Chain A
């Protein structure tokens, strides 16, 4: 009997089927990796397992030890032995290591925390993991790697039998990775089942017994790792044919509109850690340049830094139309003719409580309204033009942006930047979270912009989209350019191999 069985899991979000009948099994002591592109459904599947999405919000069954379980919340799944270590660390930095390990399940005596017992048990857990750590130090004073190991100790304190690790090595140094792997092997020998999510295929092949590939919310296949090769896995991950929903490129490349060289961006919290390291590229008028890369490759950071919007340290040379430029703030970049449709429109793009007009004119008030006095009439005229041009479905230009559908919201953000009359337009994940029909409309718009001579830099986690639209693709891996392909040479396999660090230029 398998330790865990997930049967025909279906999870829908408004307008999107994130999981479409995924099945997954895990035996005690098995090391099972879950791979797939960004958005393939890996994290969603694990959130179903850990009851971040509780029973009733998805279809299908979860069986542990052969019994169907209905988890109402994370506490239920934890009680059943499921522990997840998320990409983002969830330790409370202000509390000690011991307090963190037992957070929410502190040993008590007469309703009062039994500190001696807590630290005693914390010490023995850390010893089991061969961690030389004082449980009384603050979690925030530890390095990222050690924090990750404390998270594992926390999972073990709950007698986890199923341990889910989501990109656990993203922030670790090589020696920390070795320590982590050593611990995982020991836990495996004790019969803990491991579910391992990673983009790093080297690690996946080194550790796994079994590999499951997900794509578009479906299981592509589950195989013994010994029967697979990296190439086969990559092929299964990208799988799809580049479909017809992408418009035929009919734009012509002109002169270089923007050239950047040596763009280097440092971590906000650690000004010595490079997130982007010496990235250079150019984009021509009428060209769509795609930037490929996996989560954490530094794509958004690169664009934000070029745009003058990075709040930490960054440097690099920027030329627009052959003239060297320095952008101290987004205002400078906008003045030089750059536009930036940021990722996550709700967080970085829109004023959700305000009207379409207020949103769309925000980056160009001095152009479409006035430099001090605003002119609603002129604004409404300019905005109405964009509403028609982009085909935004709205009852009025004064409709509150937050009430629009995702696709129309995204078009409002596009309209905002078109009103600045840019020469170079950055598009960061322009179709995330919108339905297929709206995606197609946005693809047509992007193509139209290029035809009109705009230089476009496109970041997208959806490889087919990126390859379907781009004239040229630059691939980033861990902050560095690993490859560059012309449209005709850019196969999904090659791009994915470069994005996972399998090949250099």
Chain B
């Protein structure tokens, strides 16, 4: 049993380190294969932008999966929300209205599907499989099969612009201070109430990796022609922080793990399972609307097939990141790392010139292998 191991190596953080190691191997491999073009500031900046839509969706999806549910319709909803925003701009509404519409549609769809799944007891898989078809149909109807180009520069900026170098360093400083502050607080509370003594060394050791990551990240992003962090990546970071906060530091998040881990125990402990599940559907909807804006901004248009298969990318990111589709297990950090691994594979294989059908085969195999290894590892412990 793991009782005697120190907290530095408890199973969930061990898992995170293993994933980071795998990511490092993938990066180095591609760097070598592509003749040193993978690990350049320019490519890493692109890579981050590429992962942002999937990452944002994965944050919402992770919370839903933790609660023991699933949403197969996010790709179609992403298409619909983006389509509505572009259509609203074209019809003469202002950008804020278009953005509110996109996010509002996401929330509306989430509430609708959540009601069907949680209150009418229709299996989530079926409800959202229906949604996958129906909302895609709705986009095609709305756009009449055409592409609506986006001319508004601010809208396009959502997907294409950068925050600049100095703001990046300010963010880095705030983030580093926050990480260290949290570590000290954890150590103090362990001393005050835990059954062991304060482990300042252990807690501070644990901050080394995040601090290096933060500084390196900002430095790399700034190195790409002094552009700084791309807006989509900033949005992803904000969404992920909020998601991480909700899942780890609120009663709502705790209830999600309880509902997914043992719905009967949760219900008999006085938790309103249905209402909490409905809330996660709404959150995923809101996040999908946001992702739709970034996606449309980046592509510069709304197309009838925007977001096709995005739901599967998001689910795969969660699963690669250690989430269990049965519910009760998974972290936001893992889901984001999963999204980054997926995006790295896409990006690296494209750079190396792997044909697209082969890329799909590789990604599919890696998804199954990741879960297979995870299951094998769990059995051994």
Contacts and interface: CB of A to CB of B under 8 A. Distances in A.
B133 interface: no
- The interface centre, meaning the residue of B194, B257, B262, B328 with most chain A CB atoms within 10 A of its CB, is B262
Contact of B254 (A340, A349, A365, A387): A365
Given A340-B268, A363-B270, A373 B193 contact: no
B380 interface: no
A381 interface: yes
Interface string A334-362: 11000010100001111111100010011
A362 B196 CA distance: 23
Interface stretch (A107-115, A140-148, A274-282, A392-400): A392-400
A377 interface: yes
A395 B194 CA distance: 11
A349 B265 contact: yes
Contacts of A354: 257-258, 261, 328
A331 interface: yes
Nearest to B245: A373
B268 A309 contact: yes
Contacts of B253: 374
A368 B328 CA distance: 22
B328 A372 contact: no
B225 interface: no
Sorting the interface of chain B by its residue count into under 10, 10 to 19, 20 to 34 or 35 or more gives 20 to 34
Nearest to B260: A351
Given A358-B257, A373-B249, A353 B328 contact: yes
B358 interface: no
A340 B270 CA distance: 10
A371 B196 contact: no
B12 to A, nearest CB: 10
Contacts of A353: 261, 328-329
B91 interface: no
Contact of A331 (B264, B272, B328): B272
A385 B262 CA distance: 25
A467 B328 CA distance: 40
Given A351-B261, A358-B257, A372 B272 contact: no
Contacts of B120: none
* Interface size range on A against B: 35 or more
Interface in B250-280: 250-255, 257-258, 261-262, 264-272
A216 B12 CA distance: 43
A366 B254 CA distance: 12
B249 A351 contact: no
Please indicate which of the listed interface residues A350, A365, A372, A380 has the most CB atoms of chain B within 10 Å of its own CB.
A365
Contact of A351 (B4, B251, B265): B265
B254 A362 contact: yes
B192 interface: yes
Contact of B189 (A331, A342, A370, A376): A376
Contacts of A350: 262, 265
A330 interface: yes
A374 B253 CA distance: 9
A409 to B, nearest CB: 12
Contacts of A335: 270
A340 B271 CA distance: 14
Contacts of A423: none
A358 B254 CA distance: 8
A71 to B, nearest CB: 28
A372 B268 contact: no
Most A CB contacts (10 A, CB to CB) among B265, B266, B267, B271 go to B265
Given A329-B272, A362-B266, A372-B250, 7 more contacts: A329-B270, A351-B262, A353-B261, A354-B261, A358-B254, A395-B4, A403-B2
29 contacts: A329-B270, A334-B269, A340-B268, A347-B264, A347-B265, A351-B262, A353-B261, A353-B329, A354-B328, A358-B254, A362-B258, A362-B265, A363-B269, A366-B251, A370-B251, A371-B251, A372-B251, A372-B252, A374-B250, A374-B251, A377-B193, A380-B189, A380-B194, A381-B192, A384-B195, A396-B3, A396-B194, A397-B195, A416-B269
User: Which 8 pairs show the lowest CB-CB distances between chains A and B?
Assistant: A331-B270, A363-B269, A395-B3, A351-B261, A377-B189, A380-B193, A334-B270, A362-B269
